[in-house]
Amino acid sequence: MNSKVISAKEIAKADPVFGQLSFDNHEQIVFCNDKDTGLKAIIGIHNTVLGPALGGTRMWNYANEWEALNDVLRLSRGMTFKSAITGLNLGGGKAVIIGDAKTQKTPELMRKFGEFVHSLSGKYITAEDVGMTTEDMDTVREVTPYVTGISESKGGSGNPSPITAYGVFMGMKAAAKYKFGSDVLAGKSVFVQGIGNVGEALVGYLVKEGAKVTITDLSEERLHTVSNKYGVAIYKGNDLYNEAMDIYAPCALGATINDETINKIKAQVIAGAANNQLAEDRHGVMLQEKGIVYAPDFLINAGGIINVYAELENYDKQEIIRRTENIYNTTLEILKRAAANGATPNVAALNTAKERIAKRKIEKSK
């Protein structure tokens, strides 16, 4: 009999869905394919105990389908806990479309995607994410009511990016209060990594507060546009993580806090808009050991979902702002709870979210 040593990655790929750590008991995963439009998408529905799974659709040119699947599993799981800790009656879901949003996205593709969303009969409600616009959500709305973040002219809440950024800003101020004893960001050096719609809006809030902002992005054009608009510095170095700064704000894709970067990070606070900033849970422990205060991403970037939730609950802009500003209080509470219980902020936030879900599950079973 011949024996063969199989690597951990090969074992994982032998069970590409249920065997993944990111699977985490998802209720449903939908693979969407349409030859005519070129649509290849995956919808992940993680948990619907608190309500329908709401989460944005991301269009990204993934290296392979494996990468896309892992991303949608991680993102939809994060949405479950984001809604739970924010007190919304929503579950967690997310969708990814495989492709280049700049060259492959068409109205026909978006309508076909909307048809797949509609086939789930409201179990999943979509919204805007990376590679998507409010106009794309308007197109999806042509074929399904199960979409949020549509244009204000069509009765929607509009672009969620400014509210998302405001929530991150509130969470950052709370983390600063915990670390420095004051939530005043004037004079603090803040590096914003990624200046898309949310990142740029965050820069605006920080500049208004008087922070010393430095920006970095893959797009040179965006860098110069935002730099000229707000009068902020562009990072010219080769290793952002090794730079001295007060606050690091990751606002691009996730997993930037990983084995390669964590020992370099000199920031005293990490608070940004990106999802899944910790590559692994153990990186949260490592940050804590270094004395770095980490504001859980799924908590402080919840402003966007608060904004689109208004379309379902029919509350106004004033209530959106009030709920988003409460991210400050929740963040401070989580940081204090984590310290009191000897846990990381990420674990403390996850436990709080899981407790709410468990409680609702018991109530529904009676």
**What's the pLDDT score for residue 31?**
97
The first and second tokens of residue 172, run together, are: 């950052």
Q: For residues 242 and 260, is the Cβ–Cβ distance under 8 A?
A: no
Burial of 223 (0-12, 13-18, 19+ CB in 10 A): middle
Instruction: Say if residue 55 carries a ligand binding annotation.
Output: no
Instruction: Say if residue 199 carries a ligand binding annotation.
Output: yes
Instruction: Say if residue 197 carries a ligand binding annotation.
Output: yes
Q: Which residue shows structure tokens 């004893």?
A: 181
Type and span of the H or E element at 293: strand 293-294
This prediction has a pTM of 0.90
61-78 tens-digit pLDDT:
999 998 999 899 989 999
**What's the pLDDT score for residue 6?**
44
Distance, CA of 234 to CA of 362 (rounded, Å)? 51
Helices (H), the chain: 8-14, 65-86, 107-118, 134-141, 161-180, 197-209, 220-230, 282-289, 297-300, 303-313, 317-341, 345-365
**What's the pLDDT score for residue 221?**
96
Q: How far apart are the first and last CA of the chain?
A: 55
Instruction: Say if residue 194 carries a ligand binding annotation.
Output: yes
For 32, 54, 62, 354, the CA distances from 136, given in Å and listed in that order, are 18, 17, 20, 33
Instruction: With a cut of 50, list the residues of the chain below it in pLDDT.
Output: 1-3, 5-8, 11
How does the average pLDDT of the chain come out, rounded?
A: 93
Q: For residues 184 and 281, is the Cβ–Cβ distance under 8 A?
A: no
Q: Tally the C-alpha atoms within 13 A of residue 9's C-alpha that lie toward its C-beta.
A: 2
Sequence-ordered list of residues with C-beta below 8 angstroms from that of 290, at least 6 positions apart, any chain: 262, 265
**What's the pLDDT score for residue 155?**
87
Q: For residues 137 and 148, is the Cβ–Cβ distance under 8 A?
A: yes
Sequence-ordered list of residues with C-beta below 8 angstroms from that of 16, at least 6 positions apart, any chain: 66, 69
Q: Are strands 28-34 and 39-47 parallel, antiparallel or unpaired?
A: antiparallel
What's the one-letter identity of residue 221? E
- Catalytic residue, candidates 4, 9, 35, 94: 94
- Measured at the alpha carbon of residue 286, what is the angle toward residues 170 and 281, in degrees to the nearest 5? 75
Q: Which residue shows structure tokens 């969303």?
A: 117
**What's the pLDDT score for residue 366?**
80
Q: Tally the C-alpha atoms within 13 A of residue 121's C-alpha that lie toward its C-beta.
A: 0
Instruction: Say if residue 284 carries a ligand binding annotation.
Output: no
- Helices 65-86 and 345-365 pack at an angle, to 10 degrees, of 80
Distance, CA of 175 to CA of 190 (rounded, Å)? 13
Helices (H), 36-142: 65-86, 107-118, 134-141
The first and second tokens of residue 24, run together, are: 């985490």
321-345 tens-digit pLDDT:
999 999 999 999 999 999 999 999 9
**What's the pLDDT score for residue 22?**
61
Q: For residues 235 and 216, is the Cβ–Cβ distance under 8 A?
A: yes
**What's the pLDDT score for residue 112?**
98
**Phi, psi torsion values for 47, nearest 5 degrees:** -155, 135
The full length of the chain comes to 366
**What's the pLDDT score for residue 18?**
65
Note if 94 is an active site residue: yes
Distance, CA of 123 to CA of 142 (rounded, Å)? 18
DSSP string, 148-160: ----GGGTS----
Instruction: Say if residue 158 carries a ligand binding annotation.
Output: no
